[in-house]
Structure 1
Amino acid sequence: MYERSVRRLEDPELVGALVGALIRAGYGRETIERALIRQAPVDLDVLAACYAQLTEAADLMAADADADVGETQAARRAA
């Protein structure tokens, strides 16, 4: 009866929040992409940029965690 326009997912903050929430919920990249694309048209460049940012952030966090573990182990050996 009524036509409504479908909103396009093109806001980087919104797409990033959606992707981040779905990753924390345990979903993989392929599942997330399919789910978002089924809900609304997605700007694929924005989606790729969000994944790149999340991957970079995860890598930095992992590197920091590894450095903290190494420092803790070195402190234990010194004591």
Structure 2
Amino acid sequence: MAIIINIDVMLAKRKMSVTELSERVGITMANLSILKNGKAKAIRLSTLEGICKALDCQPGDVLEYRSDDSKEQI
């Protein structure tokens, strides 16, 4: 996958638990886990907005694009 989800990074920076983020955004722990682990095929803009509001960040802080070439170098 070329889109990397950096929710773990932002949670660590904000010293927030996954449970707290789930409650603030209003999504289930299961759905948040799917997002965190990069298994999601899509994300609603309202969910992304809620995550950004709860973490006080921009969408670019949560989502990152990496080309397939850069994955091979890691």
Give the TM-score, by structure 2 length. Answer: 0.30
Give the number of the structure with larger relative contact order, counting CA–CA contacts within 8 Å between residues 6 or more apart: 2
Structure (1/2) with the larger strand percentage: 2
Give the TM-score, by structure 1 length. Answer: 0.29
Task: Determine which structure has more spread, i.e. the larger CA radius of gyration.
Answer: 1
